[in-house]
Amino acid sequence: MNFIETRGNDTKNLQEVSFSQAILNPSASFGGLYVPKELPQLGLEFVKAHLNSSYKELAFALLKKFEIDIDDGEIHKALDLYDNFDNPKDPCPVVKVKEDLFVQEQYHGPTRAFKDMALQPFGSLLSSLAKKNNEHYLILAATSGDTGPAALNTFKNKEGIQVACMYPSGGTSDVQRLQMVCEDGANLKVIGINGNFDDAQAALKNLLASSTFKNELHKHNIKLSAANSVNFGRIIFQIIYHIHSYIELVKQNEISLGDAIYLIVPSGNFGNALGGYYAMKMGIPIEKILIASNENNILTQWINDGVYDIRGKELILTKSPAMDILKSSNIERVLFDLFGAERTKELMENLHEKQYFTLSTCEKEQIQAIFSAIYSDDAYGSSKIKEFLDEGYLMDPHTATCLKAYENLKEKPLKTVMYSTAEWTKFSPTVLNALNETNISYADKEALETIAQKNNAKIPESVQALFSANVIHDTIIDKEDIEKEIINFIQ
């Protein structure tokens, strides 16, 4: 299967590229993204065929449907990394929390967040391609808290790979920050930015598109790629767990094969939602995808009003920081799939130049046929964390936002899967304040131990070890100095 560009072709790039080309060089014409030329159709026969498959078997089957140009041995090697999760047979269990509500727990990997589900195998594939081609790559990552630790973990000490990871200083939890700044791989560089996630992501996109930066890398015989969900190598692995959700409900006798379900996704960079969208397009019976945002509710406005408007908007720092994003990259892939390259280019250029775009009434209706959206504030999230723990289920603040969609957006009495994208251990002060109904400033270590003791909850060894680890990376700079800092790193 070949890949094409969301904003059309500028004649400098190939008209179509292979999967391996798209993940090695994710920068497409006019600042766009790569997408599959067509999506494979799965339907109920695919689901039925994999009711007794392991997660790895399901993943392998889906990758083969995409006809990716990767050797089977390398695919199996990448998928074997799921063996390092809490339960190798079920790396993202689907847990029933109400009669019609299920949580897919996506945080059972090495860095305790859903990014492991995609970045563990993706990192293996990208590293194997670099080694096979005898090439040296610089991998850029911008993070709101979870992509960074997962990318650093998967690429640590990989041959032919260097990683530069940018995060907003003060914009992540302590655990997330420690997971990054304490990583000791010789091929890793972690950079704190005086700014927010949008600044970090903008810097990444600018570097991917910068000819001067690429020329500097060329002098050192280094090529450029990215670990963010701008890279389709991330997205392809994010489709799988939505299919797994559906299969799990069938296996648990909660639905019959062919019944439709709702998905609820915390907003973020829209990669998780995009994976669900592609699963729906490929024939999985998904009634609708419900998008839950925090007070940075740009996506709510886009879906409900057809307007993406960040004029004069300042990022609000919330208790669900991985969702503190104003520009969600992966809406572009949805726009392309629905409206084509010419319209996508027009809309995205408007967003870049004028800080907003407006859909037509017809376009808005097409979006609303697939997505519904709502947002909540920190007080709501805190109340839900307490409510659910009182009932025996411990969740993080991002998962709590999903409950707003569950309570308000369902139009039919269908079974619903919501996605828990991070373990409570990454946001323990917020969780402890929610449980105690206070607003006290706790250190992460104190909060972790208090919650674990009072609720018989387990703190993973990898998290406990962070508090005695040495800080390796202490660089914090202005966004204007990022390119210079990274060039110094590769030299």
Provide φ and ψ at 416, rounded to 5°.
-135, 135
Task: Compute the average pLDDT of residues 187-216.
Answer: 89
d(CA 263, CA 265): 6
Is the pLDDT at 204 greater than 90? The verdict is no
Is the pLDDT at 11 greater than 90? The verdict is yes
Is the pLDDT at 407 greater than 90? The verdict is yes
* Per-residue pLDDT at 208: 82
Residue carrying the six token digits 């925090």? 294
* Per-residue pLDDT at 449: 96
Q: Are 61 and 45 in contact (CB under 8 A)?
A: no
Q: Where are the domains of the chain?
A: 82-112+233-458
Under CATH, what is the fold of the domain 82-112+233-458?
Rossmann fold (3.40.50)
More confident residue, 197 or 35: 35
Q: Are 396 and 420 in contact (CB under 8 A)?
A: yes
More confident residue, 197 or 371: 371
Q: Residue 252: which pLDDT band, with cuts at 50, 70 and 90?
A: very high
Q: Residue 256: which pLDDT band, with cuts at 50, 70 and 90?
A: very high
Q: Are 329 and 228 in contact (CB under 8 A)?
A: yes
Is the pLDDT at 491 greater than 90? The verdict is no
On the 0-12 / 13-18 / 19+ scale of CB atoms within 10 A, 248 is buried
How far is CA 484 from each of CA 7, 164, 239, 479, rounded to the nearest angstrom?
29, 12, 36, 10
* Per-residue pLDDT at 486: 93
pTM value is: 0.94
* Per-residue pLDDT at 47: 97
Task: Compute the average pLDDT of residues 471-491.
Answer: 92
Q: Helices (H) and strands (E) in the chain — how many of each?
A: 21, 15
